[in-house]
Structure 1
Amino acid sequence: MSNVTTNPAASAALTVLRGINTDLGVVQQQVSSGYRIQTASDDPTYWSMATTMRSDQSSLSTITDALGLGASKVDTASTAMDTVVSLLTQIQAKLVSATEAGTDKDAINSDIQQLKGQLQSVTQSASFSGENWLYNSAQQPTTQQSVISNFTRGTSGQISFTTINYDSSQTLMIDTANPSRGLLTKNVDASTLGTSSSSGGTARNYYLLAASGGSTPAGGTEIALSSSTTADELTDMINVTNSLLKSATSADSTLGLMKSNIDSQSDYISKLSDAIKSSVGDLVDTNMEEASVRQSALQTAQQMGVQALSIANSMASKVLIILQSK
């Protein structure tokens, strides 16, 4: 029944149209922002979960940076250690060549001293971000190195970090403050290496080089050749150098293992970060295909609502025409 003061049909059509416009506004916002849940009021539970996961992803990004810095330190030390191993190999070869009869030991020693100078240069230049794992001049060196590798979130929300640790005393080649801490500057007792005893009661403690500006280990003899070097002394020097080479090679291998661990962890962190990002998307991102279909449907319903409201409003004018014809 039509009423001159109230149009129930128009009111009903208007109510429906308002609801359609509200739903359409929500869908359009989701499409434009890309988020199905953008604020806590949209869905407190999912919004809270997504916010926590975004925080975790941010922490993982920081850990990725820390791993990158750690990898650079290890790369620097590893590259230098590769060179140290190569130079020690060359020094050992020079000493072996001196065992041949008629060789000029003084000339060979000149070559050895040049190789020692390269060892000094390589170890001093193996510095990255203020850290040098091969060279030390401090009285109390820091030898326990660590790289943050991951973090875990406990059931109560507490965060704990895990690290990749390394004892850089293994790679300390030269120590000017305390020669006994450096592989190339410390005394090595040749008698413990299973070699024959040196003649004349000569001390059998040998060190490879004396660090520039540093002290020399007491009671030791620097590995160097001269025309008076005996066969027994040369044998001791060769075996001591070989022992140093084995230790340097082992330290280099340890660095390689640490580098491999860092690379593996970086790859894992990258994949974990991608997985968290995908999970956050599943929680709060708009499903564009579904939203597009819903938007089209609501736009069609909106047009129909406008037409229904127009028809309802026209009913009053038709009643007026009927009354005028009476």
Structure 2
Amino acid sequence: MSSSLLTNSAAMTALQTLRNVSSSLQTTENRISTGQRVATASDNAAYWSIATSMRADNAALSAVSDSLGLSAATVDTEYTALTAVVGDSTGGLTKLQALLVEAKTAGIDRTKIQADITQIQQQMKGTADAATFNGVNWLSVTTATPATFDLVSSFSRVGGTPTIGSITLTISNYSLYSTSTTGILDTVSGGASVNTIDITSLTDAATDQATLSTYITQVTAALNSVASAAADLGAVKNRIATNTDFVKTLMDSVTRGVGQLVDADMNAESTRLQALQTQQQLGVQALSIANQNSQSILSLFK
């Protein structure tokens, strides 16, 4: 093989090989440092685009998860208050109904019974007013309270079209008191509402007994309505809890999917790094040997 002073083919080949090894080594080092085999669009445009969209979806799902947490707290506040208004043998509508039945007894002191009734009425009103979370109250409403309330429940995307799912609640179904007196407990029927029932002046007369029967019917109807409202919110509460678990599971699934697309296999990359480092060292030695060949030409002129 001829030797040339101007062109060292062996050195050029060794240099090209060394460049290729150095490039591969840089790629491997980047994967190890970032933990990703597709960190930028130039690494793999298709996978990078898919991963970017999936990460955006995960961010949206995270927002849905936060909204579900807020919705759960709101619903739980209203549900707890409604349950307290339904009451039991010690308070609420259940106790109020029992007191009115007791008031039907001939010769009983209805003034003392009314004292208990008044306390229950005030307790129920206070409970409804206190059922406020983040400025939202569905039990004691005003003219500024919206007729419906949407709770964000899900997010999905088909192609480029996102869809936001929600649970729509009709506030009138849960309203106990209203500034327009259209709530379950302040709607006037038969001359009084559940909130304003007063039996102090009633006697054992037939007309007064009929009035007591009307009050009992009214309270029983209110009890059924409030119990129904509580049951409805209980179902919504369970739905939100189920959606919350699903969204968290879905977020984990999306995260795993992104990882499968772009994450680097650290075991494989560490093995490749050692191999490339060895190749680099051998390349440097090969280039050094090729460069020494040119020096041998000087011996021809001695």
Q: TM-score if structure 1 supplies the norm length?
A: 0.84
Is 1:47 aligned to 2:33, yes or no?
no
Q: CA deviation at 1:235?
A: 2.6
Let me know the Cα RMSD of the aligned residues: 2.0
> How do 1:29-178 and structure 2 match up within 5 A?
29-86=30-87, 87-138=92-143, 141-155=145-159, 157-176=160-179, 178=180
Q: CA deviation at 1:100?
A: 3.9
Aligned counterpart, 2:265 = 287
Aligned counterpart, 1:208 = 194
1:208–1:241 CA contact under 8 A, matched in 2: yes
User: 2:203 is aligned with what amino acid?
Assistant: S
Aligned counterpart, 1:253 = 231
User: 1:57 is aligned with what amino acid?
Assistant: N
Aligned counterpart, 2:203 = 228
> Looking at both structures, which has the greater relative contact order when contacts are Cα pairs under 8 Å and sequence separation is at least 6?
2
Identify if the C-alpha distance between structure 1 residues 21 and 300 changes in structure 2 by more than 3 Å, giving closer, same or farther.
Answer: same
How many residue pairs end up in the alignment? 294
- 3-state SS in 1 of match to 2:152: strand
User: 2:93 is aligned with what amino acid?
Assistant: L
Structure 1 unmatched runs, 5+: 189-203, 211-221
1:37–1:284 CA contact under 8 A, matched in 2: yes
- 3-state SS in 2 of match to 1:128: coil
Q: CA deviation at 1:98?
A: 2.7
**What is the aligned-residue identity percentage?**
37
Instruction: Show CA shifts across 1:100-127 (max 9, x none).
Output: 4553221111011011111111111111
Q: CA deviation at 1:227?
A: 5.3
Q: CA deviation at 1:51?
A: 1.2
Q: CA deviation at 1:146?
A: 0.8
Q: How far apart in 2 are the matches of 1:141 and 1:311? A: 86
Q: CA deviation at 1:129?
A: 2.0
- 3-state SS in 1 of match to 2:154: strand
User: 2:16 is aligned with what amino acid?
Assistant: T
1:104–1:227 CA contact under 8 A, matched in 2: no
2:139–2:174 CA contact under 8 A, matched in 1: yes
> How do 1:262-301 and structure 2 match up within 5 A?
262-301=240-279
User: 1:270 is aligned with what amino acid?
Assistant: K
Identify if the C-alpha distance between structure 1 residues 102 and 321 changes in structure 2 by more than 3 Å, giving closer, same or farther.
Answer: farther
User: 2:280 is aligned with what amino acid?
Assistant: Q
- 3-state SS in 2 of match to 1:316: helix
Instruction: Show CA shifts across 1:269-316 (max 9, x none).
Output: 111111111111111121211111111111111111122222223333
Q: CA deviation at 1:321?
A: 4.8
Instruction: Show CA shifts across 1:63-91 (max 9, x none).
Output: 11221221121111111111111111121
Q: How far apart in 2 are the matches of 1:321 and 1:163? A: 88
2:35–2:264 CA contact under 8 A, matched in 1: yes
1:27–1:295 CA contact under 8 A, matched in 2: yes
Q: CA deviation at 1:258?
A: 0.7
Q: How far apart in 1 are the matches of 2:102 and 2:280? A: 96
Q: How far apart in 2 are the matches of 1:223 and 1:104? A: 13
Q: How far apart in 1 are the matches of 2:145 and 2:278? A: 75
- 3-state SS in 2 of match to 1:131: coil
Q: TM-score if structure 2 supplies the norm length?
A: 0.90
2:203–2:209 CA contact under 8 A, matched in 1: no
Q: CA deviation at 1:166?
A: 1.0
Identify if the C-alpha distance between structure 1 residues 223 and 297 changes in structure 2 by more than 3 Å, giving closer, same or farther.
Answer: farther
